[in-house]
Amino acid sequence: MSTQGTRDEAQRPLAGKVALVAGATRGAGRAMAVELGAAGATVYATGRTTRDRISEVGRATETIEETAELITAAGGTGIAVPTDHLEPEQVRALIERVDREQGRLDVLVNDVWGGEHLIAFGKKSWENDLAGGLRMLRLGVETHLITSYYALPLLIRNPGGLVIEVTDGNAEFNKTYRENLFYDLAKNAPIRTAFGLAEELREFDGTAVCVSPGFLRSEQMLDHFGVTEANWRDAVEREPHFAIAESPHFIGRAVAALAADPERARWNGKSVFSGELAKVYGCTDLDGSRPDAFGYFRDVVFGGEEGTAADYR
């Protein structure tokens, strides 16, 4: 093999692989889709917000068509497919299309979410809106189960498939109550889903991992603080913990490295933060840092040890 060929393989370790990122309109989902594309994958990006229609949680500034274009610009092949993952027939049609066009699926990322606006933190479960809480569970849990149900038969057709369940917090972090019963259930369910799928996929040489970003500098969070990615540090004075924040591309790079790891089965059934993966794979954020939000909150915020966010970047 030529030196050029070896270099191309190193830069595009997922060339020839097919990924589906369910919930790729913005934030971590978009970044994971883009970084999988940058590693050479063909990526199907799904969501409900398109240039023609905005979903209940979407914004006109982020669409799945734009995500697909960013994937292609990064070096992969981006394919946008409008999909409501609560509708089984739409998901079935999506997987049939992937099968028809690619004949394989190597990476499934279950990132569908969008429920925080439906509940109120700091209230008892019976004080919350029941319909909103149940809707959150449908968006954050049922969508993942429907997508896996239809996608996994295609994923296991070839050995080595990978399922990424995306949530907020790992098993250790989520031992503490997440301030709202519906939210707590929604964010713990992907951890158990990855644990269960790890057992089911083992005989097919498949791997299931639950991954969480740290303090995510999503588009929504940047808007909340009135800053942009270029000047996000201006928000630290208002919220000191924001100093540990990471861009969505940090978890994107960590997931892409995990997908390219021939020994990824070592993570099977585990729940990890992006920073934990980054330490193993040598990933950095866009600014070259390697934030460890989990370590910072565990040790300093909740653990009472001395230290600052700068010590964990």
Q: What is the pLDDT of residue 3?
A: 44
Residue 53: count other Cβ atoms within 10 Å of its Cβ: 11
Q: Tell me if residue 163 falls in helix, strand or coil.
A: strand
Burial of 170-197, coded b for 16+ CB within 10 Å and e otherwise, reads bbebbeeebebbbbbbbbbbbbebbbeb
CA distance 55 to 49: 5
**Contact between residue 87 and residue 47 where contact means Cβ atoms under 8 Å apart:** no
Residues 6+ apart with CB under 8 A from 126: none
Q: Which residue has the tokens 């996000």?
A: 232
Q: Please spell the DSSP secondary structure of 98-143, one letter per residue.
A: HHHHHS---EEEE-----GGGS-TTS-GGGS-HHHHHHHHIIIIIH
**Contact between residue 20 and residue 98 where contact means Cβ atoms under 8 Å apart:** yes
CA distances from 295 to 2, 188, 240, 307, 308 (A): 42, 19, 16, 11, 11
CA distances from 55 to 23, 49, 51, 153, 224 (A): 12, 5, 11, 29, 20
CA distance 68 to 85: 18
**Contact between residue 17 and residue 160 where contact means Cβ atoms under 8 Å apart:** no
Q: Which helix (H) or strand (E) holds 294?
A: helix 293-296
88-102 and 143-155 are packed helices; what angle lies between their axes, rounded to 10 degrees? 30
**Contact between residue 107 and residue 166 where contact means Cβ atoms under 8 Å apart:** no
For 224, the token pair is: 């909340």
Each residue's pLDDT expressed in tens, for the chain with a length of 313 residues:
444 444 466 789 999 999 999 999 999 999 999 999 999 999 999 999 988 888 877 777 899 999 999 999 999 999 999 999 999 999 999 999 999 999 999 999 999 998 888 999 999 999 999 999 999 999 999 999 999 999 999 999 999 999 999 999 999 999 999 999 999 999 999 999 999 999 999 999 999 999 999 999 999 899 999 999 999 999 999 999 999 999 999 999 999 999 999 999 999 999 999 999 999 999 999 999 999 999 999 999 999 899 999 999 9
Q: 3-213+247-270 architecture in CATH?
A: 3-Layer(aba) Sandwich (3.40)
**Contact between residue 301 and residue 241 where contact means Cβ atoms under 8 Å apart:** yes
How far is it between the farthest Cα atoms of the chain? 66
Q: What is the pLDDT of residue 161?
A: 98
